[in-house]
Amino acid sequence: MSEAPQTLHGTEQGVGTWRRSWPSDAETSSHAAAPDAARGAGFRGRMRGVSPDDRRDFLLRLGTALGIAAGGLWQRRLGAQSIAAARRIDVHHHFAPPAWIAEVNGRPLLQAANTRWTPEQSIDDLDRGATTAALVSITNPGLWFGDATATRRLARACNEYGASLVQRYPARFGLLAAMPLPDVDATLAESAYTCDTLKADGIGLYTTYGNTRLGHPSIRPVTPELHRRNAVVHVHPTAANCCRNLDYAPGVTAGTMEYGTDTTRAILGVTFSGDAAAFPGIRFIWSHAGGTAPFLAGRIDRGSRNAADRMPNGFIPEAKKFFYDLAGAANAGAVASLLQLVSSRQILFGTDFPPGGSNADNAKALAALPLLDDADRRAIEWDNAAGLFPRLGR
């Protein structure tokens, strides 16, 4: 019998409780409510010795509390809709800590757009797209390059940078913490640190680590711990060792087909291994509309008869429990197939920013889909993510 899940973190404060050093929402509200003279004196006193970046963040938060647009900062109005009125969460959004860039520069699968990332770039994109917040995660080529010690150090550096980013902009970012898999002991330690100390909003995993896929027995000890924490686990695709160097036609890259295929391999890994059925506390989010799995669901379900001891209800009932983001998949073909597997209540908005396009463009693509009505779009853009990440959905 599986152990009853606990919550990922004890409160909805999230990463914002870690090393707070600038004004809280309550503090900015008190400034807004004070008489003009007192507010001005308090403001000037508070700003003494504060860095330009922290001063800019404080001004933005104060401007929001006063209900005005802070000119010259990253908040701007989009027609009649202000950022405060935006109701969209991007669950598939990438960041690039300096330590990660230093490690991955020149490695296969790295896209140039990720090397140019800055926090300002993300906030500007969110504002232009009227998107409230983004869950940030590390993208390809990942963290695992064969050296367990280096991977542990890199995961910690990425997570502490991500936590500081969320601490600085708690209303704009959430953290999907990177794990040093396939090192099980290091991953158990890092998951405890990121969830209990950094208060991460969720966990970010990859479909494959070298030759080790999700669902492999060698990394299974991590699964009951994530279940115990009732963790939200976002799974990002990569190209498995078997297939990243196949000689396709000129111009075909790993991202063209292998990412979707490896997503399907990972979904089969966690279902056919029995992990999905045994540890239902894990709330999986699969990237890019689940790769090819929704289209192949009927065929896979027939094959699941061979795994009845690990998946007694078959594949499709397990796949229906998962969530799926629409990064790179806000098109009629992908969405039509996905809606045959799950309802709009299991689908999430995502962009794969920066290489995957802007929030504005992805929102326009979603709005143009005739398969979805207003209630569907509201669920995809806001309601579903707000339920998974309540700190950002308040």
Which residues of the chain are modeled with pLDDT < 50?
1-47, 50, 52-53, 55-85
Sign of CA dihedral 291, 297, 299, 305: positive
User: Do residues 382 and 87 touch, judged by C-beta distance below 8 A?
Assistant: yes
**Site of tokens 């064969």:** 146
pTM passes above 0.85 = no
Dump the DSSP string for 85-139: G---EEEEEE---HHHHHHHTT-TT--HHHHT--HHHHHHHHHHTT--EEEEE--
What backbone phi and psi angles, to 5 degrees, belong to 86? -65, 140
Q: Tell me the C-alpha distance between 201 and 261, whole Å.
A: 27
Give the count of beta carbons closer than 10 Å to the beta carbon of residue 224.
17
Question: Which helix (H) or strand (E) covers residue 177, if one does?
Answer: strand 173-178
What backbone phi and psi angles, to 5 degrees, belong to 298? -65, -45
Q: List the strands of the sheet with 173-178, edge to edge.
A: 89-94, 133-137, 173-178, 202-206, 232-236, 283-286, 323-325, 347-348
What backbone phi and psi angles, to 5 degrees, belong to 283? -105, 95
Which residues, in sequence order, are CB contacts of 13 under 8 Å at separation 6+? 199, 391
Cα radius of gyration (the chain): 21
